[in-house]
Amino acid sequence: MIVVFKPDATQDQVNQVAELVTGMGLRVHFNKGTERQIMGAVGDDRKLQSANWQSWAGVEQVIPILAPYKLVSRDFQKHDSSIDVRGEKIGAKDKMQVIAGPCSVENVEQMMHLSDVVKTEGLGFLRGGAYKPRTSPYAFQGLESEGLDILMEAKKKTGLRIVTELMDPRDIPLFEGRADVIQIGARNMQNFRLLKEVGQLKTPVLLKRGLANTMKELLMAAEYIAAGGNLNIILCERGIRTFEPDTRNTFDVSAIPVLKEKTHLPVIADPSHAGGRWDLVEPLALAAVAAGADGLIVEIHHQPEKALCDGDQALKPKKFTKLMEKIRAVAKIVGRDA
């Protein structure tokens, strides 16, 4: 349910209503609009539905949120959220963000080289997986905590914000205060225990759409994180599994405008995993920007043929620089910098 306060409601009145509602066993989340304050009340809301809220001082209306996802829905918040990551915003109206880096952290030299490429391009975010969700248990699983240490070295050297995947809640202490954005990968999109754990943090979460999940399921997964109190969530369309074998996944470009209609959260796209081929990264990236994506996450590698993971889809630095030129041109057409 949403409790809409009158424009002249006092803070005392707001606090009193919050106390009443939490007394009904609900969790409250505030959203300060330009004109009035809104309070989301989530949980079993039967008591609130039958309450005589008309008599509550300061309250204008109590309305149900019809979507099954509440806090992440447009009903709860009309304006776009932009997520502040150490001073750079993901979801800002006038700027889209490009996150780039290798699929996996492989060694110090690789990360120093690629973080320089990202920095030189004028970007603010570096990606790199230390814990890798691999289909085969015999494939490279990532450098794990050593990989995180290497990412911290790259961060120290370049100041770039680190985006890296968390697969297991037991590793949270290693990520906290170090990863600037915690990625929840496609395979873990419905790992509800993991979602609940990152919901307890303040660190922004990049939540990727599952291989075969609907947009509604993605939004419900985001709601798990939000319900814990962490509304710093960025959604990512990364391609879905279809009957088409010529591409690794099928890039669902329509997910960008459709998600943005349903949620206030920023939506970015991953053209690397969507196509699974380096030659498709450019057309898919440009399509995403044109469709209104708030950002991109792109895999790059200076020696793709030697990459320990996802070499087929990695762009070499020179190609990446060329891609950035085109991204900037298309972004300009849709009114954004990149």
Picked from ligand PEP, Mn ion, none, the partner binding residue 133 (CB below 5 to 8 A depending on kind) is ligand PEP
Stretch that binds ligand PEP, among 17-25, 172-180, 182-190, 214-222 (CB under 6 A): 182-190
Burial 221-257 (b: 16+ CB within 10 A, else e): bbbbbbbbebbbbbbbbbbbeeeeeeebbebbbebbe
Closer to ligand PEP at the Cβ: 70 or 301? 301
Report how far residue 61's alpha carbon sits from residue 65's, in angstroms, rounded to the nearest whole number: 12
Contacts of 245 (CB under 8 A, 6+ apart): none
Q: Which is nearer to ligand PEP, 260 or 273 (CB)?
A: 273
Q: Does 273 bind ligand PEP (CB under 6 A)?
A: yes
Shortest distance (Å) from residue 120 CB to ligand PEP: 22
Does the protein bind ligand PEP through residue 70 (CB under 6 A)? no
Dihedral sign of CA atoms 143, 146, 148, 151 in order: negative
Q: Which one, 171 or 270, has the nearer CB to ligand PEP?
A: 270
Interface positions, 106-165, toward ligand PEP (CB under 6 A): 129, 133
- Smallest separation, CB 112 to ligand PEP (Å): 20
Where along the sequence are the contacts to Mn ion (CB under 5 A)?
103, 310
CA atoms within 13 A on the CB side of 214: 4
Decide which of ligand PEP, Mn ion, none touches 75; Cβ closer than 5 to 8 Å per partner kind. none
Strands laid side by side in the 27-32 sheet: 27-32, 37-42, 2-5, 59-63
**Which of 252, 270 has the CB closer to ligand PEP?**
270
In the bound complex, what is the minimum distance in angstroms from residue 103's beta carbon to Mn ion?
A: 3
Distance of CA 278 to the CA centre of its chain: 23
User: What residues numbered 203-262 form the site for ligand PEP, per CB under 6 A?
Assistant: 208, 238
Q: Which of 38, 103, 205, 300 binds ligand PEP (CB under 6 A)?
A: 103
Taking CA atoms, 36 is separated from 43, 73, 74, 101, in Å, by 23, 18, 16, 42
Total number of residues binding ligand PEP (CB under 6 A)?
10
Instruction: Tell me the C-alpha distance between 185 and 191, whole Å.
Output: 10
Smallest separation, CB 125 to ligand PEP (Å)? 13
Residue type, 282: E
Q: What is the dihedral of CA 47, 49, 54, 57, to 10 degrees?
A: 50
Packing angle, helices 317-333 and 108-120, rounded to 10? 30
The distance of closest approach from Cβ of residue 93 to ligand PEP in the complex, given in angstroms and rounded to an integer, is 26
Residues that bind ligand PEP (CB under 6 A): 103, 129, 133, 185-187, 208, 238, 270, 273
